Homo-oligomer: A and B are copies of this chain.
Amino acid sequence: MLDFAILGLLSESPMHGYELRKELVTKLGSIRAAISYGSLYPTLRRLQAAGLITEAGQSDRGSEAVPALTSRRGRVVYKITAEGKERFAELIAQAGPETYDDAGFGVHFAFFARTDRATRLRILEGRRRRVEERREGMRDVLARAAERLDAYTLELQRHGLEAAEREVRWLEELIANERSGRAPDGAVKPRDENQGG
């Protein structure tokens, strides 16, 4: 999941770890808390060791003046490699069971702008089915075990059920939009969805 998100962000532009973490918040803030450094930095090293990302040096991207000379420590800017792009393309094309849970779905959705429509549809439909199953489970409990459950437990189930129903409706809308060729904001999408750097 982290691999996926990092590759995705670095394929938009080179960044250092600290910055990456902030971008992760703006991109995935609605589906998970900020990633910890204890997770982020080892992951960057691992991706680098695997040849999927590489240190960019300081030349490409000057939002500000980069300190001319730093000794050992200092910001390390990473950029994605050709292999990394390949790997990201593989990940973004996946649409299996692991793509339907909260985390997997969220990350995939966050990169839907660079996912082809057929894959988007498969993911949305898989996710819908998954949420419908959860919804049915909760309906079952409410129908089957309501009497022996206390008021708070019931309220929790009702709230969960409502959230599931709402998500299913949301997904149906998104699916309908995909089928009719609209972006989620209702605008008709341009033919080419690739974005420049």
Contacts and interface: CB of A to CB of B under 8 A. Distances in A.
Interface string A19-42: 000000111011100000000000
Give the size range of A's interface with the partner.
35 or more
A187 interface: yes
A187 to B, nearest CB: 7
A9 to B, nearest CB: 11
A163 interface: yes
Given A112-B152, A150-B195, A163-B166, 10 more contacts: A26-B149, A27-B153, A29-B134, A29-B141, A30-B160, A30-B163, A112-B150, A113-B150, A159-B170, A163-B163
7 contacts: A27-B149, A29-B134, A29-B138, A109-B156, A151-B183, A152-B184, A155-B174
